[in-house]
Every structure is written in structure tokens, then in C-alpha cells.
Chain A
Amino acid sequence: MNAQTRLEHGYRRLIGWYPQSFRDESGPEILAVLMDGARPGQRRPSPAETVDLITGGLLMRLRRRRPRPPRAVTGALGLMYLAAVLSATASAAIALTLTSSRTTYLHEYPGVAGAHWSSVATYLVLRIVGAAVAGPLWLVLAWAIAHGRAGARRALVGYSALLTIVLITSAATGEAGYAPVALLSVGVLWLISLGTVVLLFRPEAEPHFTAPVG
């Protein structure tokens, strides 16, 4: 093996530290630059070159190779993180006020049987569980949207529709009277989900969802 082949072999091994997609695209080009810059008779990569290429390869693996998302998308992501925190808070708040909700409900509707309260309570417990699940769900959707997954955007529309139904049902059953915290939290989350959907469907957000995932 002559000096040049040996050197080229050494450089190729170091270029192996770069991610596959980058190697496919720029590997031969970097190799050409390295060979052009080699000293006459150089047989192996210098320690400085070794450090430079290993660092470059590792950095490239950590780095996201997509353009920064448009402002509409970063705004939507901010709202989604807020929604995740609010969902978790809402779940705890509805659970903590369940007893006082019961007292108020039975006081407001003294004529109704306890069985009726149990169906109301079941609905509230479903909301506690729903809000607890929604917290991590918002985060998963935010991750998917940050990575340009259009499916996550559609899922968010579905979730907004579900929140609309919950909001209407809650308001119609007079929740404002006996469980104001539950009604307020679903109202706020509904507004946030609506804002997120509007931002994500703005024309400026479109390229973020149509560009290939990198």
C-alpha cells in the first residue's frame, strides 16, 4: 500500500464518524479537500485532523439538518408546551375540587337522586384522567410537529374537535355552577388548541410540513 492510498484509507475511516446521509452527500468531496491539503509524503491523518474530523462528525450527528421552523410553527410549539403544563394542572385541580363540586351539586339540585351525581362524577373523573393523559400527549404532538409530521397536525385538529364537544357538553350541563375549575380549564385548553391549529395551518407554516424529514 503506497503512502497516498494509506492516507486516503485513514481519512475514509475518520469520515466514517459522520452520519450516513452526510457521508453519501459530501464524503467524496471532503476526502478530495483532505487529499488536496495533505503534505507531500504524508502517510496518515495528523492528530489535529483526526480530532477535527471526529468532532465534526459527532457535531453533525447532533445537529438538526432542517431549516429553523417558521415563526408560526415555533409559536404553535410554545402554545403546545403551555397546554401540556395546563392539562396536568387541570387534572390535579379538578381532582382536588371534586369533593366541593359534589357538595355544591347536591346543594344546587337538592331534589335529584345521588345516582344522578354519580353520572356527573363519572364524567368529571373521565376529565381528570383525560387531562392527565393529554399532558404527555401534547408533548408527543409537539415533538412530531417540530419534526414536520403532517399527521400530528391532523391529530391536533381531531383533538380540538374533541375539546369543542367536551366544552359544549360541560357548559350545557351547568358545570359553571358546581365545577367552575373543570369548565374553565377545558375552555382555556380549547382556546389554546384553536390558536395552535390556526398557526399550524397558516401558509407560512406549510413548507415545514412538506419538506422532507431529515
Chain B
Amino acid sequence: MQEATFLILTALAESSQHGYGIINDVTEISEGRVRLRAGTLYAALDRLRVDGLIELDREEIVDNRLRRYYRLAPAGNARLAAEAARLQAHAATALNRLRLAGGTA
């Protein structure tokens, strides 16, 4: 799973969000390292919807502008959990080996 996809799913893990909310949340989760642009975001959202990992939650009109809120679908929840567990296992192995080698971790 690409990092941007992982971060978008993470942004939606707790509650539904609209496009601009996802962009801001991804920036915050990645501590400013990943700044999604609208084109990149919507390409990812489209793929995730087609694959059934996210779904439309609701629509709102704010200041005459359309806001769509997305939420994780059950399949997205399972994928994110599996990916997070995989990354955690890899990180744990990396830290463990660095410790054994007398590194700084």
C-alpha cells in the first residue's frame, strides 16, 4: 500500500471527513512531510471507492460549495488494520535488530 493511501485511510479511521479535511489531517499525521494536492487526493479517493475501501458518508453545501464526507468501509477498516499491523511488525524488527547491533535505537 502506498504511503498516501495509508495516510488517507488513517485520516478516515476515526470519523468521516471531507476532501479538504483529509488533506489537512494527512499533513498533520505525517508531521508536515506529506502534503496532498487535490488531483492526487481525488485520484486516490476514486480508486479507494471503486475498490470498496471507502464510501460516501454524506454531502453538505457550505458557502455555496459542495462538501462530500467519506468514511471507511468495512473492507477499508480491515485493510488498514492489516497494513498497520504489518508496518508495526517491520518497525519492531528493525528497532530490535538495531538494539542487538548496539545502535542508538
How many interface contacts (CB-CB < 8 Å) are there between A and B?
67
Find residues 40-71 in chain A having any chain B CB closer than 8 Å to their own CB.
Answer: 48-49, 52-57, 59-60, 63, 65-68
Contacting residues, chain A, for B37 (C-beta < 8 A): 48-49, 52-53
User: Among the listed B19, B43, B47, B51, which residue makes an inter-chain contact with A32, where contact means beta carbons less than 8 Å apart?
Assistant: B19
Contacting residues, chain B, for A48 (C-beta < 8 A): 37
Contacting residues, chain B, for A65 (C-beta < 8 A): 46, 50
Pairwise interchain contact A32-B39, C-beta atoms closer than 8 A:
no
Pairwise interchain contact A35-B39, C-beta atoms closer than 8 A:
no
Q: Mark B31-66, 1 if CB is under 8 A from A, else 0.
A: 000000111111100110011100000000000011
Contacting residues, chain A, for B43 (C-beta < 8 A): 56, 59-60, 63
User: Among the listed A28, A30, A54, A67, which residue makes an inter-chain contact with B42, where contact means beta carbons less than 8 Å apart?
Assistant: A30
Dominant SS among interface residues on chain B: helix
Pairwise interchain contact A33-B19, C-beta atoms closer than 8 A:
yes
Contacting residues, chain B, for A68 (C-beta < 8 A): 51
Instruction: Give the distance to chain B from A33, nearest Cβ to Cβ, in Å.
Output: 4
Instruction: Give the distance to chain B from A48, nearest Cβ to Cβ, in Å.
Output: 7
For the complex, is A34 an interface residue (Cβ under 8 Å from B)?
yes
For the complex, is A5 an interface residue (Cβ under 8 Å from B)?
no
Bound Cα distance A113, B52 (Å)? 68
